[in-house]
Amino acid sequence: MTQDHKHDEKDENETRLITAGQQQWIDWIVRLQSLAQAGLHYGRDRFDLERYQEIRDIAARMMAAQADLPLTRIRDLFCNEDGYQTPKIDTRAAIVKDGKILLVHENSGKWALPGGWCDVDQSVASNTIKEAKEEAGLDVKVERVIAIDDWRRHNKINNPFGIIKIFSLCRVLGGSFQPNSETTETRYFARHELPENIAEEKTSRDQINRCFDAAAAPDWQTHIE
């Protein structure tokens, strides 16, 4: 996966908990930015376009203040797209074997379910398969969707845009871990053995526990937000 499509180590170092009040401000700022972006895309009057651009700049400054990140970083993440703004898609593979779930150990030192941004030329299923191969070295088959989450309700916030996280239960067909630029090892963990240093901005402890529940329930109903 390319650098542009991964939560990089710098992103993880910037992860932080936010209060309910801060989340409300972030939600307003994200909405303000999305309206400005839509105005820039659909607007035709040059004076209106200048106003929309100014609103977008103000939204970026507000987000930088709320997130305590450099304004240039916010503009790179928050104001680098054209057209109508939509959430980004993140896919995660839940691989459960003998009551244990597979986690990958990232270069940051944290553990997570294998996965990442859905590439523009991939479907949800194919991206899940691709990420499992790249990060865990495994060939997998996607069997069912466990959950479609709004990450703001489950994960630590470290990006200023919306993210939809899709968790899929996968079956291993073959393969083995291979050294790569993103992960240093893989390991299966029982529910009570989950490591302390979980990448909560990517796959929270509660999301991992839900994957355990889904693997144990043949009639599991997809959780959709």
Instruction: Tell me the Cα Rg of the chain.
Output: 19
Percent of the chain at pLDDT > 90 equals: 53
Q: How far apart are CA 4 and CA 88, in angstroms?
A: 12
Classify 174 in phi/psi space as left (phi over 0), alpha (psi -120 to 50) or beta: left
* CA atoms 199, 225, 139, 1: torsion sign: negative
Q: What integer pLDDT is reported at residue 116 of this predicted model?
A: 95
CATH architecture observed for domain 88-224: Alpha-Beta Complex (3.90)
Q: What integer pLDDT is reported at residue 82 of this predicted model?
A: 62
SS3 90: strand
What are the residue ranges spanned by the domains of the chain? 17-78, 88-224
Q: Can you read off the two tokens belonging to residue 119?
A: 């590439």
Confidence bin at 9 (pLDDT 50/70/90): very low
pTM: 0.69
pLDDT tens for each residue of 59-74: 888 888 876 667 777 7
